[in-house]
A and B are shown apart, each in its own frame.
Chain A
């Protein structure tokens, strides 16, 4: 048994939140540079260049990369041998978000869904906890912007649709989104599970590095074929028509019911921001 004060978790999330708001992930930067270097459309090329310049300014001047500093999605994988002490875990997470969004001059983007009154401190965070083996805690912080979140879709397919139906759903979601989610997008897909767990899998897929591949060969085929078909759409950066509409497609799978084939497609804009640390 290992004792861990939730204050340590809070301080870690505070660091991760500040870092995530100001930095694109290394794999995202690599993919965007590659897209810029190979882009044949002049306006799309201008957009990609601007986005890369912006990423440099954000790091140099410690400014948020994007003004949409997102809803704070926090994934906690807690080892079963960890005994947490101190304040309640959810309070520690929300206190970290509150402090980071204040100190980083990040936008507070969370409000009541009906009255639209802003909570003024970006809380509450969306917290996913998983109990895993071991005595460590893995923390992942993903600030999720809503221009892209709004374009996400959940498709409850019939099993007869099969792999081709899954690919069609992924491509259709990106096509429907068009220029609105800030393409080139990063597409997270959850295949299987239930209505809710497929959506979570899709979010989890977005925590993988851009360009990483699933270990299953049939899933890798879905990733590669979806990406090829998405980029053949020609929507391009910012919808300005171009060669790169997506920088990556990451799929995660889980067993599902014999009657169903859920496909959740979570769209992430080109500002892929995600930071992790193990305590």
Chain B
């Protein structure tokens, strides 16, 4: 099944935990350090350097792009490290997350409450995911290098619905 981001309400109610999906559209990378920065800005009441509304965060830190490619290898990182961050971002309007592995009960509950979604990408498939990226641009925290926020345009990016909008989990 192919879907384009951002997902519509109809898409969200159709997608069930365990479904295999090919995603196309815009996603933003953010992992440990970027989340700490985002939370520091939120706590200080400052504006974020990008719009969180209906954005999709990909828990990932890419390899540098070799010549002729938009991005280097770029598979998902362990989502559970972002357990403490995801619920607040979902409640602020985040569209969903892409990562690998189970997330906490709090995250599952927040996904259900907000009717959003968590997709699992296949960990360790960095080269394959890198090839699904057509455009990459660093849009925040460039000093964090691979941990900065990159805006990625992806095409046919293979994922599995890990927590659906009703809160059903594959794990």
Contacts and interface: CB of A to CB of B under 8 A. Distances in A.
Contacts of A105: 63-66, 72
Interface stretch (A9-17, A177-185, A218-226): A177-185
A150 B123 contact: no
Closest 9 CB pairs of A and B: A182-B123, A54-B125, A67-B126, A179-B101, A58-B127, A63-B127, A54-B128, A67-B73, A180-B101
Contacts of B127: 54, 57-58, 61, 63-65
A66 B32 CA distance: 18
A46 interface: yes
A245 interface: no
A57 B122 contact: no
B128 to A, nearest CB: 4
A126 to B, nearest CB: 19
A107 B33 contact: no
Interface of B: 18, 20, 32-33, 60-66, 72-75, 77-78, 80, 100-102, 120, 122-128, 130-131, 144-147, 158, 160, 170-171
Interface string A29-70: 000000000000001001100110110011001111111110
Contacts of A47: 122, 160
A239 B125 CA distance: 15
B160 A107 contact: no
Contacts of A46: 20, 160
B101 to A, nearest CB: 4
A26 B23 CA distance: 32
A62 B75 CA distance: 16
19 contacts: A54-B125, A58-B126, A62-B66, A63-B63, A63-B73, A63-B127, A64-B127, A67-B62, A69-B63, A105-B64, A107-B61, A107-B64, A109-B146, A120-B145, A147-B78, A147-B101, A182-B101, A238-B101, A238-B123
A53 B32 CA distance: 28
Contacts of A65: 73, 124, 126-127
A238 B100 contact: yes
A106 interface: yes
B123 A269 contact: yes
Given A66-B126, A67-B126, A150 B64 contact: no
A66 B101 contact: no
Given A65-B127, A67-B60, 10 more contacts: A47-B160, A50-B128, A51-B124, A54-B122, A67-B61, A105-B65, A107-B63, A147-B101, A147-B123, A178-B171
A67 B20 contact: no
A64 to B, nearest CB: 4
B102 A239 contact: yes
Interface in A175-217: 178-182
Nearest to B65: A105
A63 B146 contact: no
Contacts of A43: 18, 20, 160, 170
Nearest to A57: B127
Contacts of A178: 101-102, 171
Interface in A258-272: 269-271
Residue in A50, A150, A270 with the greatest tally of chain B CB atoms within 10 Å: A50
B130 to A, nearest CB: 6
A108 B170 CA distance: 32
A182 B124 contact: yes
A118 interface: yes
A122 to B, nearest CB: 11
